[in-house]
Amino acid sequence: MDIDKLDLVTRFQLEKKGNVHGSIYHVTQVEMAYNSNKIEGSRLSEKQTALIFENNIITPAENGEATKLDDIKEAENHFKGFDYILDHYEEPLSIDQIKTIQGLLKKGTSDEGNPLKPVGEFKVIDNVVGIGYTEVQTAAPDEVVSKLTELIKEYQANTPITLEKIVDFHVKFERIHPFADGNGRTGRLIMFKECLNHNIVPFVLKDVHRDFYYRGLNSWDDEKGYLLDTVGMEQDMYSEFLSKMNFRGNINDSKVPKNKFEERLIKGKENQSLTKGHSTKRKSNESKKL
């Protein structure tokens, strides 16, 4: 086996199976779990998260703070959620898949015994989410299935899938906010999965960039550049990490154009999609002027 010729999804799967310490899979698991949970308020340090993943142990917090059992459980759950998207990265997004991811993330937490916070099921009461400094009214419980179904349908019909379309799906998913909790973590795992599926460099949204991330979510309708720049920065950081690990392959070989004709066809569809988007925006702006 020539390890240098493997794509990233194959490397992930091999390193997961081989339980290789310090591998791309290992580091990505810890980085994803630590940062995604930290964005949502987890008190675990990166070191604590790594020890849970590596040895299933927890050490006292360096600042002396007590550690919440839910924080520990949600770190363990995130590892399982990441494994799930690796096992199912090629499958089209679906309602059941999204429910499964959220269920894995919240299983065994204090939410599981709370009827107002169903695990692996959609919310039963209305909620308002604060994206950055602005509260956003989300979909009502009885609207979730129809709105999420329509979002998935729209996303899958608008091919080829690009980074901007993945991020756009994420923004709209967060605005629907289909679950009582775990929406952000579910959404970020979906983005990673979709990047793997479509041969796009994946990324880990860092907690230290949380404010940029929230600003991007909040400003998406008026200025997509904020969030795309943040995601692009995270992609650059992940690419640099892969380079340090001497990874030279594609993300997903099955989605690489097989010849020049196929490559031109894909680029043509991308340009057509961009032109359509700009045209729609111009019409919208003209309508506003009228």
Residue 284's pLDDT is: 40
Is 134's pLDDT higher than 70?
A: no
Per 3-state DSSP, the chain is made up of helix, strand and coil in percentages (nearest 5) of 65, 5, 35
- Annotated binding residue 214: yes
**What's the CATH code of the domain at 166?**
1.10.3290.10
Residue 236's pLDDT is: 99
273: left (phi over 0), alpha (psi -120 to 50) or beta: alpha
- Annotated binding residue 264: no
Residue 265's pLDDT is: 53
Residues 59-82 pLDDT 10s: 998 888 899 999 999 999 999 999
Residue 64's pLDDT is: 84
Give domain status of residue 289, yes or no. Answer: no
Give domain status of residue 290, yes or no. Answer: no
Q: Which of 104-108, 133-137, 183-187 has the lowest mean pLDDT?
A: 133-137
Give domain status of residue 187, yes or no. Answer: yes
Residue 177 is among the residues annotated as catalytic for this protein: yes
Give me the amino acid identity at 286.
Answer: E
Residue 247's pLDDT is: 97
Per annotation, catalytic residue among 26, 88, 170, 177: 177
Cα 250 to chain centroid, rounded: 19
Q: Label residue 175 by pLDDT band (50, 70, 90).
A: very high
Give domain status of residue 32, yes or no. Answer: yes
Average confidence (pLDDT) over 221-226 = 97
- Annotated binding residue 184: yes
Average confidence (pLDDT) over 107-128 = 96
Give domain status of residue 223, yes or no. Answer: yes
- Compute, in degrees rounded to 10, the torsion defined by CA atoms 247, 236, 82, 23: 30
Average confidence (pLDDT) over 36-65 = 95
Give domain status of residue 15, yes or no. Answer: yes
Are 133 and 187 a contacting pair, CB within 8 Å? no
Residue 142's pLDDT is: 98
Number of domains in the chain: 1
Q: Identify the domain containing residue 149 by its residue range.
A: 3-282
Give domain status of residue 288, yes or no. Answer: no
Q: Which helix (H) or strand (E) holds 100?
A: helix 95-106
Q: Which of 3-12, 35-44, 174-183, 267-276 has the lowest mean pLDDT?
A: 267-276
Residues 5-16 pLDDT 10s: 999 999 999 999
Partnered with residue 134 across adjacent β-strands are 131
Q: Label residue 136 by pLDDT band (50, 70, 90).
A: confident
Q: Which of 109-123, 138-152, 165-179, 263-277 has the lowest mean pLDDT?
A: 263-277
Is 55's pLDDT higher than 70?
A: yes
Is 288's pLDDT higher than 70?
A: no
Task: Show contacts of 118-127: CB within 8 Å, 24+ apart.
Answer: 118/180, 121/179, 122/178, 122/179, 123/177, 123/178, 123/179, 123/180, 124/180, 125/180, 127/177, 127/180
Give domain status of residue 251, yes or no. Answer: yes
- Annotated binding residue 185: yes
Average confidence (pLDDT) over 78-99 = 98
Instruction: Quickly count: other Cβ atoms within 10 Å of residue 88's Cβ.
Output: 16
Are 192 and 198 a contacting pair, CB within 8 Å? no
